[in-house]
Amino acid sequence: MSGGPRRSGPCLRFCLVVFAVASALFVSGPALYWKFKKGLHLGKNGPSCSPCTCDCPPPLSLIKIAPGLVNLSVTDCGKNDPDLNKEMGKQFIDLLTEELKLQEAVAEEHTHHMNITLVEARKLGSQYQREAEKCNAATEICEGARERAEALLLKEKKITSLWERRARQLGWEGE
């Protein structure tokens, strides 16, 4: 069983190399195909171009543009940076593992934030539900009071009508 992790490293590297080559062919393949096809097409019956003549100035050298850059060497870049050396020394598997751990931490943080948001939403929902129940109860009380007042008004109208009739019978002429 100790041979398993040793085999996965080269296998993973091989897969990455195949993936890189396939990606490069996928990206540059169509351009190369059309360039090759265009070159063959022009060679058969296409017009040939005469050589170009131009009076271009010679290209500027790096020494003339930035004299200080000549002393720098690319191989020394980051040699004295311990953090960079540590990162560059890691294996691809270690980098993938670290990336997965970072994604897991971000996912846990997101889940935690969503749980807090859900709890707050439930609290607000229950608060709104209680307020709605209070409002419904108050509406029912008001409706009951309105119905009672309407019944009393109807009763008062009947009594008023009765007294008005008696008053007319006794000689009252009204307004």
- Note the pLDDT tens digit of each residue in 148-168: 999 999 999 999 999 999 999
Across 137-146, average pLDDT: 94
For 98, residues 6+ apart whose C-beta sits below 8 A from its C-beta are: 90
Domain ranges of the chain: 91-169
Across 97-104, average pLDDT: 92
- Range with the poorest average pLDDT among 62-66, 92-96, 116-120, 158-162: 62-66
- Within 10 angstroms of residue 33's Cβ, the number of other Cβ atoms is 10
**Which pLDDT band holds residue 9 (cuts at 50, 70, 90)?**
confident
pLDDT at 148: 96
**Which pLDDT band holds residue 173 (cuts at 50, 70, 90)?**
confident
Q: Is the pLDDT of residue 119 over 90?
A: yes
pLDDT at 112: 95
Higher pLDDT, 1 or 68: 68
Helix, strand, coil abundance in the chain, percent, nearest 5: 80, 0, 20
For 168, residues 6+ apart whose C-beta sits below 8 A from its C-beta are: 174
Rounded distance between C-alpha atoms, residue 96 and residue 15, angstroms: 15
**Which pLDDT band holds residue 1 (cuts at 50, 70, 90)?**
very low
Secondary structure of 7-27 in HEC code, one letter for each residue? HHHHHHHHHHHHHHHHHHHHH
Across 78-97, average pLDDT: 75
- Note the pLDDT tens digit of each residue in 22-73: 888 888 888 777 777 777 655 445 555 666 677 777 776 666 666 665 565 5
Q: Is the pLDDT of residue 2 over 60?
A: no
